[in-house]
Amino acid sequence: MNNLWRSIYLTRWFFLLCGVIVVLFAASFAVRELYFVAKVSAVSLFGLTLLDALLVFLYKEPLNFERHVNERLSLGDNNPVKLVVRNNGLQPVTFMLYEGFPDQMQEREKVFIGILAPEGEKEFHYDFLPKQRGEYFFGDAFFRISSMFNLVSRKYVVPSGMVTQVYPSVLQLKKFELLVFQQQKTSVGIKKVRRIGNNSEFEQIKAYVQGDEVKTINWKATSRKFDLMVNQYQEEKSQHIYCLIDKSRNMQIEFNEMSVLDYAINSTLVFSNIALKNGDKTGLITFSDKIGTKLPANRTGSQMRRILEELYNQKTHFKEPNYELLYQTIRRTISTRSLLVLFTNFQTEFAMRRALPMLRRINQKHLLVIVFFENTDLQEYAFKPLETMNDVYISAVAERVITLKSRMARELKQNGIQTILTTPENLSIDTINKYLELKARGAI
């Protein structure tokens, strides 16, 4: 802001000087004695302008520009961008920087203003919040440059175009990984769940030591060894977990300029990483009217990279979801009992009940968890103050839709299907909590 006011200050003096010269020329016709003064002033102004032009155009490349941004950006997160400007000359430079923002930012007014000392450097920072996956193009940056006199300006373009790719949120992946496996996880809504029962695999028989559970004593081995022997178990891991993503038209609904599909994709990436870190095998199936991606469950080091690449290319289709085809695909490709997390978005009871027979058949062999979404915008309409009859009608319809979602979730639970009805913002937290709960109960 100080640089901006300094530029305005110099420009004001320039116009003031021009006004004085005009007044002197006008006065010279009435007072001949002032003619010499006006002439000297005009020549001085012309010389000063010429000197300023020489200073501005003296260097072919007066400024050096660098843009620091990750080649892979995270969807739905603030991605930092750093701009670095350096003065290549031996004189002070005043500049206005017009950044080549991606078209998706719709940023047309933001300008970075600064003054650089000889061989000086200045940094600017801003955040880029992408709302869609895909490629984003940063254009060339151009400058409006002037010297300390601010009488002549020059446009200088720096070729700096670059393409970046927006992937599902890797930042959220790292954030939830840190929270789940550390103590502060409860501060963001991730619950501590007490383990119920014992979901373990036999490992070996060992001698009893103080602290071992009495119920694990192996009496046959004890009678043979004439010493207390206990069975040692290890937690059962490497269970198969699949994320099933519905790509039908219902997943095109947007919240905060992001589609429901993109929320599901971000949550799938986070959830798959947590499951892999927990020792389980994760896989991916996408579908609409046809089956899309089929990635078998695995726990190798490269599995997260495969999931990330597959999620990057997913798009919604203007079709209805084919749950019968999904059931047949699961039946053919998933042979062992697995946890299936289905991200979908039922809009009507008819759509839910039409899919219910296939969902029940899937749930007979596997543990199915259905995740669908509350409409947070409708909640605002339902509970806002009523001032007109139109507000009353809108509020009534919004409450009806909210009640409908809750009724669908209740009916799914009555049919023995695990259900998560959540907002897009809480999707990852609620999915992780359900996974931790099922692991603690030994349900998978």
**Res 236: pLDDT:** 56
Q: What is the pLDDT of residues 72-106, one digit of tens each?
A: 899 989 999 999 999 888 778 888 899 999 988 88
**Res 55: pLDDT:** 65
Angle at 349 between CA 251 and CA 344, to 5 degrees: 25
Alpha-carbon distance of 356 to 342, in angstroms, equals 13
User: At residue 198, does pLDDT exceed 60?
Assistant: no
User: At residue 230, does pLDDT exceed 50?
Assistant: yes
* Residue 401's pLDDT band (cuts 50, 70, 90): confident
**Mean confidence (pLDDT) of the chain:** 81
**Res 8: pLDDT:** 39
Alpha-carbon distance of 355 to 357, in angstroms, equals 6
User: At residue 10, does pLDDT exceed 80?
Assistant: no
**More confident: 30 or 204:** 204
- Give every CB contact of residue 103 below 8 A, 6+ residues apart in sequence: 137
Q: What is the pLDDT of residues 292-329, one digit of tens each?
A: 999 999 988 899 999 999 999 899 888 899 999 999 99
Alpha-carbon distance of 306 to 438, in angstroms, equals 26
**Res 368: pLDDT:** 96
User: At residue 362, does pLDDT exceed 50?
Assistant: yes
| Least confident interval from 193-197, 252-256, 294-298, 343-347 | 193-197
What is the percent of the chain where pLDDT is above 70? 78
What are the two backbone dihedrals, phi and then psi, of residue 316, each rounded to the nearest 5 degrees? -80, 160
pTM: 0.75
User: At residue 265, does pLDDT exceed 90?
Assistant: yes
Task: Please classify residue 268 by burial: count the beta carbons closer than 10 Å to its beta carbon, then call 0-12 exposed, 13-18 middle and 19+ buried.
Answer: buried
| Least confident interval from 75-79, 91-95, 123-127, 411-415 | 91-95
**Amino acid letter at 267?**
S
**Res 202: pLDDT:** 57
Which residue bears the tokens 């290549």? 88
Average pLDDT over residues 171-186: 67
Q: How far is CA 36 from CA 48, 179, 328, 388, 421, in A?
A: 18, 79, 99, 76, 86
**Res 223: pLDDT:** 83
Structure tokens at 430: 């609620």
**Res 194: pLDDT:** 52
